[in-house]
Structure 1
Amino acid sequence: MHARPRTATIVCMAMALLAAVGLSAALPRPAHAAQVVTDIAYAPAQPAGSRGHLLDLYLPDTGTAPRPLLIWHTGSAWSSDDGKAGADAIAAIFNPLGFAVAGVSVRSSTQAIFPAQVHDIKAAIRWLRANAATYQLDPNRFAIAGDSSGGWLTEMAVFSGGVAALEGNIGVTGVSSAVQTGLAFYSPTDFLQMNAQNLPGGGLDHNSPASPESLLVGCAIQTCPGTVAQANPMTYVDANDPPLLFLHGQADFLVPHGQSELLFNRIKAQCGRATFVSVPAADHMMDQIMDPAQYGAETVRTTANCSETSRVGTLNATWSNFTTFLRGGLQLGTSCEVTYATGAWNGAFNGSVTVRNTGTTPVTGWTITWTWPGNQAISSAWNATVTQAGAQVTARDAGHNTYIGPGSSQSFGFSATATGSNNPPAQFKMNGVTCTRVLG
């Protein structure tokens, strides 16, 4: 396919737009974290003075430890080495839910060509897992997310677990770089098909030697198909991959919507697990993907066990729904119900708490929290380790009762003192998720 006129100008404009359309219009600021640790070097800078091997950590002041981790990388058409910028906005959403958030930078395509960027994200994941105990992270519950080239990086991390050629030897080695789930926005997936999928009104000439994709792999993409195949997330899809949620706008001018269609069909053919949300009228911008005007109009395709379901308008592009998906992928459970009952006598009472997993994923390890509305004080407990600080109560599983399958429940009891009114707590949470309350 021939290059379009004014290729260099179009490419420069597109790359500037890609670098500018991140999260500022869609997400609240600032981040709400108990502790923020910035500019952690997960590997030595390459080249010296660059930012591509730095990460920021946002640690929450809520939830229980060890905490699930969400890794974020902001897209830039691979033109920036500061992909951790914007993670503060993600932390503002996920820190209050008990998630730690890591903003990770990787090298730009001007500093190093592919597969350097994948080596970098895997090095960052290895560093985070190696240092999980220091920062109270759960090494078995890592999620990753990003937009545009950050979505590409997300998909490469999700699909390439165990691919030795993409592991690299940067920074910490000998530690797993696996993630357990991913969330990607409008990602390129098969570079050689992008031009053919451009909108009828035009689009970026991806075949140009100056296109973001060509600069990433170090050659005009049509001249080096072998190298390009290694850089396509599609190449690495198989049935053992973690679940992925990905979203794409049907009016995307920069990364064709068809890229996500190809990816979904590939995952289905390989019997993988994925949910694809196709948003009408949305371009290459987060605020358009998440525009409430689109709610109820999205096409949602889900695949598992080599089969597909398709529906319209049943998964709106909201952070609440994204969180539910990530929690499921991390096996944190997605919803719960607590039945609370008491039996009182002079100045004291016994209480029982039964928590039921009403979600579709199992819970392995649980913590129930609540706040007393009066002067109640725990004196003893059974089938859970219960502690109290002021009015705040934390009950952790006793070791023999850690597992709660979908539809199943676990119970524990306690004795406590109280004077005056002994009203029940207004709210219970399991692993940071608010449960429906039922009074016994």
Structure 2
Amino acid sequence: MRRILIVGAGQAGLQLALGLQSNGYDVTVMTNRTADEIRDGRVMSTQCMFDTALQHERDLGINFWEQEAPRIEGLGVSVTGPESARVIDWVGRLNGYAQSVDQRIKMSGWLETFAERGGQVVVHGVAVSDLDYFARTYDLVLVAAGKGELVSMFGRDASRSPYDTPQRALAVSYVHGLGPRPEHDFKAVRCNLVPGVGELFIMPTLTTSGPGDILFWEGVPGGPLDVFGDVKDPAEHLRLTLDLMKTFTPWEYDRTRAGVELTDAGGTLAGRYAPVVRNPVGELPGGGLVLGVADVVVANDPITGQGSNNAAKCAAVYLEAILEHGDKAFDRDFMQAAFDRYWDAAQHVTKWTNAMLAPPPEHVLNLIGAAGQLPPVADRFANGFDNAADFEHWFYEPEKAAAYLGSVAPQG
């Protein structure tokens, strides 16, 4: 039986561990927190998983919260104009529903399931020196912990990483009490774009205290939204969030008037990081090799909501590659080939995300505006969140955008 070590207990690490376990592999997961510590801790992310990523969980039978989590059936965009008025507002329908499950629920539940099924869980921080030993005792070591010392083993790929500084300051609040958007009777992610300032995303979620919503500000560094860095008090964090909504997205602030409150004391998060693509193979001092997973090797800004989706897709690709590899050695060629298969999809997400961080060119503004008049355009935007490769055909180049709009616009 082949022995595999996975360092990290997030979406990719645990999904891959459970998939390998179900195929008879001897899997160990190393994590720096117990399931209870994860469940009772601070929120770790925003997450909205679209149909393709959700299907990977269904395929493994680990979609434990699908019946409880709100079903997100659309994705809407609003754009702020002068005096904080909406100049664009539309919603597209998703072909398959999306869902958001607080990672505190999912990761603690998956970690417990992995252990109950006989998997070995080691609760301990991991240093590069530890991996030097483990690389000699396991057939394959995968690093799925996207922060800290271990990431330094994976060199930045400058050719795929146009930004070397954070492009947004991030601030998250999980809340109860948010009212519905009156424009539609189904649940949708709402993307509110404030040109030159940042973005406000609102998404329904299932959290530790039941259904709620995530309020997520992405602020241009140094701008009026970049005010959360020194805030330690959760109540002050929420107050700032609501004040900024009142100023820049008053239509969303109207949804808070009945009174919103944080889901729990751990329901806020703030930070920033530079989007980066890294080389997938980490070299250890003793000569061993480790394979980077998900955010370790492709960390996009969350402006397009792709982090957990990428993680699920990476885990699915790596699982397939490992199963196909059989009894052969997990050498550098295997590791590079597994990543290349993942990059086939991830490259489209990275290109799209990096494009959305920059001021939009005129033809993209035309597309966003047209979506308010042409439902097929709105729907195609929405479903691009599930399949970013589709943007290649109509989004990036003015000629393709014009041809597409000409094909869907009413004639005569």
TM-score, with length taken from structure 1 = 0.28
Where is the strand percentage greater, Structure 1 or Structure 2? 1
> What is the TM-score when the length of structure 2 is the normalising length?
0.29
Q: Which has the higher helix share?
A: 2
